[in-house]
Structure 1
Amino acid sequence: MKYLLLVSHGEFSQGLKSSLAMFAADKVEEVVAVGLKNGESVEQLADRFKQQLAELGTGNSFVVLGDIIGGSPLTTVCNVLAQADILKQTIVLGGMNLPMALNAVMLKDTLSGADFVQAVLSEAQSSLKEFKPSSDLDDDDDEDI
């Protein structure tokens, strides 16, 4: 099975997985969330993630989304995947957000390689913008407020 692996500092990855369940409930069993807990060492994270990998069984592949490229959680998870000889066929992207994760979980089984990366990163980038609420309210029409 191909899993979407969310990696973060703290509980961000768990919260993102919970949010994904609202949009893609049928795919949430294909999402694994792992976060570096406050006060936890990277060695403890590595051991915990090795246990998760063992529970998933063999023959799986991964798309990894990390909160920060180069951050301890992501580098630790990548090291564990490399030790398990899984990293070379894994796509790893950083700067995860909800639109990126939603696209990744929906497209991971239909697109691959550069096409997958382009689709997921495009969605992530296009979702980053300032929201400017309309201020064209008519002062006489208070019901619209």
Structure 2
Amino acid sequence: MRKVILASHGELSKGMLNSVQMIIGEHTQQIETFSLYPGESAQDYAKQLIEEAGDHPDTEYIVITDIVGGSIHTALLQSAKLENIKLFSGMNMSLVLEIVLSNKECEIDNDRIQNILDSGKEAIVYIESICDELEPEEF
């Protein structure tokens, strides 16, 4: 079993889930969100996640945080020490879709992780550079 957790400052995680649901619909049942608000502690959530993952060692937890080095990412670093938790940072739609649509029957291994990262990176482009390559009639 796989559980995907989108974790962010504010409501980015909820918005991402909403957008992913618009694209793939029912395939989002295994996605949860965590939104950190002012005055809350990401450490509290990290402790809760570690406890849950420890109680369910057969579940693969894929955690995607909004930004590398942010308070959520930093708090969840300790959770990545568990074998059944994989932590990604730098949330974007392509990265989330790649993870959610990957084969749920197979654990995400190092080769698959690299494909997921490549997909997320390839989705980030500077439009002017693309426009220079296109002919006017392609618009």
- Please say whether Structure 1 and Structure 2 have the same fold, judged by a TM-score greater than 0.5: yes
Shift in alpha-carbon separation, 1:106–1:66, aligned structure 2, 3 A = same
Shift in alpha-carbon separation, 1:42–1:118, aligned structure 2, 3 A = closer
Give 1:63-142 correspondences, 5 Å limit.
63-79=62-78, 81=79, 87-107=82-102, 109=104, 110=106, 112-132=108-128, 136=136
Taking only aligned residues, the RMSD between alpha carbons, in angstroms, comes to 2.9
1:5, CA displacement in angstroms?
1.1
Q: Alignment partner of 1:107: what SS?
A: coil
Under a length normalisation based on structure 2, what TM-score does the superposition of the two structures give? 0.75
Contact 2:59 2:84 in 1 (8 A): no
Shift in alpha-carbon separation, 1:43–1:130, aligned structure 2, 3 A = closer
Contact 1:8 1:34 in 2 (8 A): yes
Q: Which amino acid aligns with 1:99?
A: S
2:7 match? 7
Give ranges in structure 2 of 5+ residues lacking alignment.
none
Larger radius of gyration: 1
Shift in alpha-carbon separation, 1:77–1:35, aligned structure 2, 3 A = farther
2:34 match? 34
1:62 match? 61
Runs of 4+ in 1 over 6 A off after TM superposition: none
Q: Which amino acid aligns with 2:31?
A: V
1:135, CA displacement in angstroms?
8.5
Report how many aligned residue pairs link the two structures: 130
